Amino acid sequence: MQSDHRRRWLRWPQGTNQTRIGYGADYNPEQWSPEVWRQDVRLMREAGVNIVSLAIFSWARLQPTAQTWDFDWLDEVMDLLGDNGIAVDLATATASPPPWLTTAHPEILPVDRNGHTIWPGARQHWRPTSAVFRQHALALVTEMAKRYGRHPALAAWHVSNELGCHNAWDYSDDAAAAFRIWLADRYGDVETLNAAWGTSFWSQRYGDWPEILVPRLAASHPNPTQQLDFRRFSSDALRDHLRAERHVLGQLTPDIPVTTNFMVMGQTQAMDYASWAGDVDFVANDHYVVPGPQALDELSFSANLTRNLGGGRPWFLMEHSPSAVNWQSVNVAKAPGAMLRDSLTHVAHGADAVCFFQWRQSASGAEKYHSAMVPHAGPDSDVFRSVVELGAVLGDLHEVAGSQVVPPHVAILFDWASWWASELDSHPSSRVRYRQEALDWYSAALATGTRADIVPLSADLSRYDVVVAPILHVVDAELAGRLVDFVEGGGHLVTTYFSGIVDRSDHVHLGGYPGLLRELLGIRIQEFAPLLEHESVALDNGTSGTLWTDQIEITDRETHCVVTYLDGPQSGRPAVTRRVLPLRGSATYVSTRLGAGGIVPVLASVLRIADIIPELPQALRDKVEVSVRAGDDSVFTFLINRTNEQLDLGALASQGTQLARTGDISDPATLGPRGVMVLSSARGSAPAGNRAARRRHHPHQLAEVEP
């Protein structure tokens, strides 16, 4: 029953088309007069907007004092939107407490690791563990649910906003007390905690729970397991707030789906979203492009991971930007067509709703230079014309709604514990960047013309032929066993430097590196050999490595050297090894950071032995991204031009009926700069099956192309 409950999608208002892709934005009518509200609704209808997120930062307006409420303005806006067929994703408005609350109760304010109070004046100035804040927040949630739970425009509840964006790590006394409770639940008694934390080192042994603190500023490196557990606790504390609000909403409005907007993007690492996904009815995400050579790869990576956090089901893109943002050092406007390309890339990866921050660009406040669907220039602008165009394209794609992405043959594991633990202080290198390494492998897959899933650790590995586990630093016996079973079952595993090193308590697996993966890989490493910042090493396959090297000893007759170091401290030794199990799978180890370009030949060699055929011809690889969604009867193929050039798609353009295409190119086989083409074809009868069957019957092979 609970599983079915969590599969709920938006509750579209009665009388509207239920098969459609959501389209809209954060809407902040409290910044504008009622005359502007009516103009907004008219423009929303022109743009094809069918849903908005409302009341996100409205607490101070809704509750002007501790004893008074003002819902009249929100009643009017809800009715206005509903009367015009626009659904509402209604926020609980708890993201930022009003001034009266922080004035009366300054004890709800967060504290940084130096003991400094985080004062009001921006947003999210509250402690996740504050009982006082929780009491006031849930009182607001209760009032919102009672008043709007039966409103016909209500499509979903939006808990808080970007939980943990600015208050993930709180070092207050409330946090310390809650941390002790969390630790007692995790370990049971202090002696078990002492063993897990290795407190014999530096005379840190604890005699009783009150002695334990959060890892505030210390004279040297704080206990690493304490730091790791604090990150786990902090993510759980935010999730506990999500659950508390959800509980109230579930009691009062059990038929309304509940979500909150994740931030699967960039370096947002504080929240373990893999553990949160079960607490929402559908996953929602905010994503903003950060300029750079891998910007489009990162967008695709984040959308891909978001989908897989939700078990592959359709998800909600809650925020992205129509053009420039306001928080980068230089905020560059998007090129023509880029906004449509970015939006449709999310749809290609399973998003069934595409929304922006925000609808109308603010005239004041900290985000007044952040772009919006209606910019400062007004509707007579290129931005708004693109907004209208995107609305029309999404309307054309209505039959895509509800379909799911067809899983590829390749998966890249993503593990928050390894991300946290591998980047702690007092390590062989402080330059290890977990997410960047994972992104590099994803970029390499795109460059080979091969789709890959980004999946959490809990994913079913048997669905894939190749699994890449970059910097899988934290490995326990259960995970090691799963990887062995995967390889012995015919799968092909790739892992990298600094993998398999510690257990869940951040204790090193003794006997040599890479710890619990030694036997599976057939290698042993006695000592790490990281590189200095400006050092690199040449490899005999024409690439080079940075950041890290290992002095590898091959210990198994089934393991051989694939790539060799040509120079540096490991000159003549293996840089990449592979253990091949006869009639089964393989396990490859990469001992240096290759970067996306250097990974390509290594990954290509694994794809060859796994008998995986690229889905794009050579001429289009690294220029076009492909994603495939499938419904009950149809397959939808998205072809995304990642370049600023006009591309001839050749036979790919005839693989189905054209549902939509962006750009003004008349030739049906040509895709303009930053253009997107969506094709529809009848769903084939090929089974998903096991790995061997999938290789024989490739249900989503786009064309016969060279490997």
Domain boundary residue among 402, 427, 459? Answer: 402
Does pLDDT of 126 surpass 50?
A: yes
| Closest residue by Cα to residue 77 from 45, 36, 47, 23 | 36
Domain end position, chosen among 587, 609, 631:
609
Residue 683 sits in a domain whose CATH number is 2.60.40.1180
Please give the Cα distance from 697 to 692 (Å, whole number): 9
CA distance 242 to 272: 13
Which pLDDT belongs to residue 496?
A: 98
Task: Say what the pLDDT of residue 696 is.
Answer: 31
Q: Give the pLDDT band (50/70/90) at residue 699.
A: very low
Tens-place pLDDT, residues 387-443: 999 999 999 999 999 999 999 999 999 999 999 999 999 999 999 999 999 999 999
Do residues 665 and 538 share a domain? no
Classify the C-alpha dihedral 595-596-600-603 as positive or negative. positive
Model confidence pLDDT, tens digit, residues 129-181: 999 999 999 999 999 999 999 999 999 999 999 999 999 999 999 999 999 99
Closest CA to 82 of 115, 119, 54: 54
Alpha-carbon distance of 685 to 681, in angstroms, equals 12
| Across 3-17, 213-227, 419-433, 658-672, least confident range | 3-17
Mark whether 387 and 517 lie in a shared domain.
no
| pLDDT tens-place string over residues 185-235 | 999 999 999 999 999 999 999 999 999 999 999 999 999 999 999 999 999
For 532, counting Cβ atoms within 10 Å of its Cβ (0-12 exposed, 13-18 middle, 19+ buried), the class is exposed
| Strand-by-strand arrangement of the 559-564 sheet | 452-456, 410-414, 466-469, 492-496, 586-590, 574-580, 559-564
Mean pLDDT of 570-592: 97
Instruction: State the pTM of this model.
Output: 0.95
User: Rounded to 5 degrees, what angle do the CA atoms 291, 24, 72 make?
Assistant: 125
SS3 for 328?
coil
> Do 182 and 146 belong to one domain?
yes
Q: Tens digits of per-residue pLDDT, 328-352?
A: 999 999 999 999 999 999 999 999 9
Q: Is the pLDDT of residue 83 over 50?
A: yes
Domain contains 523: yes
User: What CATH number did the domain enclosing 576 receive?
Assistant: 3.40.50.880
pLDDT tens per residue, range 489-501: 999 999 999 999 9
CA distance 50 to 626: 27
Pairing of strands 634-641, 624-630: antiparallel
Catalytic residues: 162, 319
Q: Name the nearest CA neighbour of 700 among 606, 618, 636, 653.
A: 636
Q: With bands split at pLDDT 50, 70 and 90, how would you rate the model's confidence at 14?
A: confident
Separation CA 13–CA 18 (nearest Å):
8
Report if residue 127 sits inside a domain: yes
Q: What is the pLDDT of residues 457-474, one digit of tens each?
A: 999 999 999 999 999 999
User: Which amino acid appears at position 674 of this protein?
Assistant: R
Specify whether 371 is located in the same domain as 517: no
* Within-domain flag for 121: yes
Would residue 181 count as lying in a domain? yes
Q: Which residues pair with 630 in a beta bridge?
A: 404, 635
Residues 187 and 204 grouped into a single domain: yes
pLDDT of 1? 30
Please check whether residues 398 and 414 belong to one and the same domain: no
Residue 703 lies in a domain: no
Contact 639, 655 (CB under 8 A): no
Confidence band of 684 (pLDDT split at 50, 70, 90): confident
The answer on 426 and 306 residing in a single domain is no
The answer on 392 and 426 residing in a single domain is no
* pLDDT of 701 over the 80 cut: no
Supply the pLDDT for residue 693.
36
CA distance 118 to 131: 18
Type of residue at 619: A
At 692 the pLDDT is 40
Least confident of 331-335, 579-583, 664-668: 664-668
Residue 705 lies in a domain: no
Do both 372 and 419 map to the same domain?
A: no
Give the start-end residues of each E strand in 457-614. Answer: 466-469, 492-496, 523-530, 536-538, 544-546, 548-554, 559-564, 574-580, 586-590
Instruction: Output the pLDDT for position 695.
Output: 41
Q: What is the DSSP letter of 678?
A: E
Res 5 pLDDT > 70: no
Give mean pLDDT, residues 557-579: 97
Name the E strands within 502-556: 523-530, 536-538, 544-546, 548-554
Domain that holds residue 102: 2-402
The confidence band for 7, taking pLDDT boundaries of 50, 70 and 90, is low
Write down the residue that tokens 């959501």 correspond to: 22
Residue 358: cis peptide before it, omega within 30 degrees of 0: yes
Which residue would you say has higher pLDDT here, 7 or 214?
214
Give percent of the chain above pLDDT 70. 96
Provide the token pair at 457: 């650790």
Query: In a 3-state reduction of DSSP, which class is residue 535?
Result: coil
From the list 22, 10, 585, the residue with the least C-alpha distance to 280 is 10
φ and ψ of 63, to 5 deg: -130, 85
Structural domains in the chain (count): 3
Mean pLDDT along residues 529-556: 98
- Give how far Cα 169 sits from Cα of 221, 246, 555, 623, Å: 17, 22, 43, 40
CB atoms within 10 A of CB 438: 24
Same domain, 442 and 576: yes
187 and 160 belong to one structural domain = yes
Question: Taking a C-beta distance cutoff of 8 angstroms, is the pair 638, 678 a contact?
Answer: yes
Task: Specify if 237 maps to a domain.
Answer: yes
Residue 706 lies in a domain: no
Q: Of 609, 630, 656, which residue constitutes the final position of a domain?
A: 609
Q: Which two tokens stand for residue 415?
A: 């593990």
The count of residues in the chain is: 707
Same domain, 470 and 597: yes
